Structure 1
Amino acid sequence: MNQLIRKRFFIMIMSWCLSLSVQANPSNYPVMDEGVTDTISLLSPGEYNLINDKIMDLEHETGAQIAVLIVPTTGRESIEQFASQIFAQWQLGRKGIDDGVLLIVALNDRTMRIEVGYGLEGQITDLFTSQVIQNYLIPYFRAEQYAKGIELAVDALIAKVKQEELPPIDQMSLIVTKQTESIGLLDIVAGLVIGGSLLLWLSIIVKTLKRFPLRAGLFWGGIIALTAYFGGFDLTTWNGLTFGEDFLRNDLPRWVQLLFLQIFPAWFSVVMIFTCFVVSVFYILGFFAGVLMILDRWIKSEKLKKALFPGIIFGSIVYLFSYFSTGSLGAAVSITTVITLFIIIGIYKGFIKPTTGSGSSRSGGSSRSGGGGSSRSSSSRSGGGGRSGGGGASGRW
């Protein structure tokens, strides 16, 4: 019996060791191929040679190693885990210095990451790698100009290693990213807001022209002349405006992006964004005022009115705050519903005492990859390093 137990224990230990060896098998990861390892032939031979030559020239000049890896997917691993494993296996950077940088692109996952070796974290900070992704990689990847994006990102990393001037941020960051889609709710809301903003400015122009025809005519005519002189109406040039928020770049309909990024002059785009915000606030206030008027007419109970009005007003504030905090419409609606119902029931039952005009409640209210790698290098290019400091940044396009 004891012999059978020992035999089973031995088999279990061997199976466990075998599973570990399979998981740690370097063959599960691509083998490094000089400066660029393109496993899916994303780059043409000319594009490959151009980027690869820049990387190898940097290595011969400074000893620092930059590696680009292009894969279809990272599988079950996150882009951060995959980058850390590759960095250790390839032993990027010189031994004891660890001056290596790894740029990974997972095309089908639409993810990317820049992993930075321990020895370069002082120069290539997390903030810098995030800026490289946002300013160089993502805009070109969205335009499906992958080679140009990778080339500019490599140029920026090389310049930072050599402490040289960075390549200029291209106008491609202002590209219209959305494709034409069927009309949806967002199109209707955007049409109402932008239409209201244009009507507001039209009424201002008409009123000033009626009241001060000569001075207003000279003023508005001068603005139009200056705009035309500086190329503001030239649809082949960018207007200098960057939105900065993912919602504005990714979620707004294509026709809205065309208006703000290509059709409107730069100064008018800025003015319109502010005007749209003002108009949106008035729309929201008008909507809730209408709801309150309807409730006031339909509901006869004064006690219920006193509970509903502050609850709705406070709930709308909670909705706006939670939506902009979480970025999720579902989460915002759920949070708002729970809090609004709590306030309404609390005021109606009497355990929440509203102040004058409003309701108030008395209730109180990067992971870093280890990066230590001792795996045998798969390429003669290995510098013997491989210690990732965990620094870097990831992104999606």
Structure 2
Amino acid sequence: MRALLFVLACLAAPLWAQGFPEFERTTITDRADLLTDAQEAALHARLARLREDTGVELAVLTLPSQAPYAPEETIETFATKLFNHWGIGDASRNDGILVLILPDDRAMRIELGAGYARDWDRVAAEVINRSFLPSFEAGDYATGISTGVEDVITSIAEPFTTGTEAPPSNMPAMNWLVITSIVGSFLLIARRSIGDWLTRLRRCPNCGRRALSRTRKTLRKASKSSEGNGEVKTRCAMCDYRDVRSFTIPRTRSSSSGSFGGGRSGGGGATGRW
């Protein structure tokens, strides 16, 4: 059935010139049918929680191919236009994120909102290489999406909301090969703790040791009428390094409301192929 629908979509491509797929909900739209219902529900819950905790709108879209919509465009141009068509992210902060996956094209894109400095493009590329592509290359899209989206959250979305600058790239490539080989099984044990685990692998800015730990706490939940706030504490077990960053949680807007916040992208992000 999926193959038939895709063929029909390709035949109809001229009628859809510069058209865009519509989202089914503001968290996950799985048009390529890469996830089971249970996996999709779990991902939706995770992204809805991110939005509730931080106000960041992270949307995941899978399509078999880009061809029915923009056959002559690069994935970068298509992702930017799609991002802006949907209006992902808050209009004042432009902090939205789009994860676009095209299995038949063997390509994916993390598109970042215009509020992210260009240094975050490198972080997005690192996330793709270490958390999405290893599983995608093995044909395990579900694990790649689960692992990769969690890494997007903990390495980009959450740090950005606390005002953290994009971290330097100082981890040897071989370390990431080891990491990606165990992340899939690690997710089954403690999915929510991946952010703390990745933090421990980063070097302490004071002593240079990999002994960091991070805790994130909501001090006041946001509501539809008022903002909330929280703090992220990072400490090193090997020295006296301590860092506390406050963050604001925007007023809530239902993740099932059927619309995004009107954010825009300036073309930042990263692309991966397998």
TM value normalised by structure 2: 0.56
From 34, 45, 49, the equivalent of 1:53 is 45
Aligned residue for 2:121?
Answer: 126
Aligned residue for 1:382?
Answer: 260
Residue type of the alignment partner of 2:51: E
Matched, 1:92 2:81: no
Residue type of the alignment partner of 1:93: G
Aligned residue for 1:69?
Answer: 61
Aligned residue for 1:30?
Answer: 22
From 133, 143, 152, the equivalent of 1:138 is 133
Matches within 5 A, 1:1-397: 23-25=17-19, 28-75=20-67, 76=71, 77-121=73-117, 125-159=120-154, 160-163=156-159, 171=178, 173=180, 380-385=258-263, 387-397=264-274
Q: What is the alpha-carbon distance in structure 2 between the residues aligned to residue 99 and residue 151 of structure 1?
A: 21
Q: Number of residues paired by the alignment?
A: 170
Q: What is the alpha-carbon distance in structure 2 between the residues aligned to residue 32 and residue 100 of structure 1?
A: 17
Gaps of 5+ in 1: 1-20, 176-378
Give the drift of 1:91: 0.2
- Whichever structure has more strand as a proportion of its residues is 2
Indicate the SS of the match to 1:127: helix
Indicate the SS of the match to 2:35: coil
Encode CA deviations 1:168-211: one digit per residue, 9 max, x unaligned: 95747469xxxxxxxxxxxxxxxxxxxxxxxxxxxxxxxxxxxx
Residue type of the alignment partner of 2:266: G
Indicate the SS of the match to 2:93: coil
- Asked whether the equivalents of residues 32 and 103 of structure 2 are also in contact (C-alpha less than 8 Å), the reply is no
> Percent identity over the alignment?
34
Give the drift of 1:95: 1.2
Give the drift of 1:86: 1.1
- Asked whether the equivalents of residues 80 and 266 of structure 2 are also in contact (C-alpha less than 8 Å), the reply is no
- Asked whether the equivalents of residues 140 and 172 of structure 1 are also in contact (C-alpha less than 8 Å), the reply is no
Give the drift of 1:35: 0.7
- Whichever structure has more helix as a proportion of its residues is 1
- Asked whether the equivalents of residues 77 and 267 of structure 2 are also in contact (C-alpha less than 8 Å), the reply is no
- The higher radius of gyration belongs to 1
Encode CA deviations 1:26-48: one digit per residue, 9 max, x unaligned: xx423342311101211011111
